[in-house]
Amino acid sequence: MEISLSNAAIHWFKDEVELKKGDKVRFYVKIYGSSPVQEGFSLAFTVDNEPIDIAVKTEKDGLTFFIEGADLWFFNGHDLSVDYNEQMDELEFNYILPGE
């Protein structure tokens, strides 16, 4: 599994969340909501500078983005691609099967 973020998403995190070099962002599962990979669950994020069990991570512009091992089930074999939707002014999570 991989995590990728567009430059626009990185810019959004720096501006809206006021992240600075060295900060860590954890993507985690919420029990309510919906996603294309799991019905009744959705994805959220939090700034978490004390990870417990990083299963997947990527680093970009001095920031670390990660998923804990306990949340890997949610992705059902998909990679996570994070982008910023300018028209909706929000992050966009895309789930991509490797090889597609």
CATH of the domain at 30: 2.60.300.12
Cα four-point dihedral sign 51, 49, 19, 30: positive
Strands (E), the chain: 3-5, 24-30, 42-47, 54-60, 63-68, 79-85, 90-96
> Nearest-5° angle of CA 60, CA 18, CA 74?
60
Please report the pLDDT score of residue 45 as a whole number. 96
Contact 4, 49 (CB under 8 A): no
SS3 label, residue 8: helix
Domain count of the fold of the chain: 1
Domain that holds residue 28: 3-96
Please report the pLDDT score of residue 5 as a whole number. 97
- Closest Cα partner for 77 from 21, 31, 18, 37? 37
pLDDT tens, position by position, for the chain (100 residues)?
Answer: 999 999 999 999 999 999 999 999 999 999 877 787 787 788 999 998 788 999 999 999 999 999 999 999 999 899 999 999 999 999 999 999 987 6
Please report the pLDDT score of residue 39 as a whole number. 78
Please report the pLDDT score of residue 48 as a whole number. 85
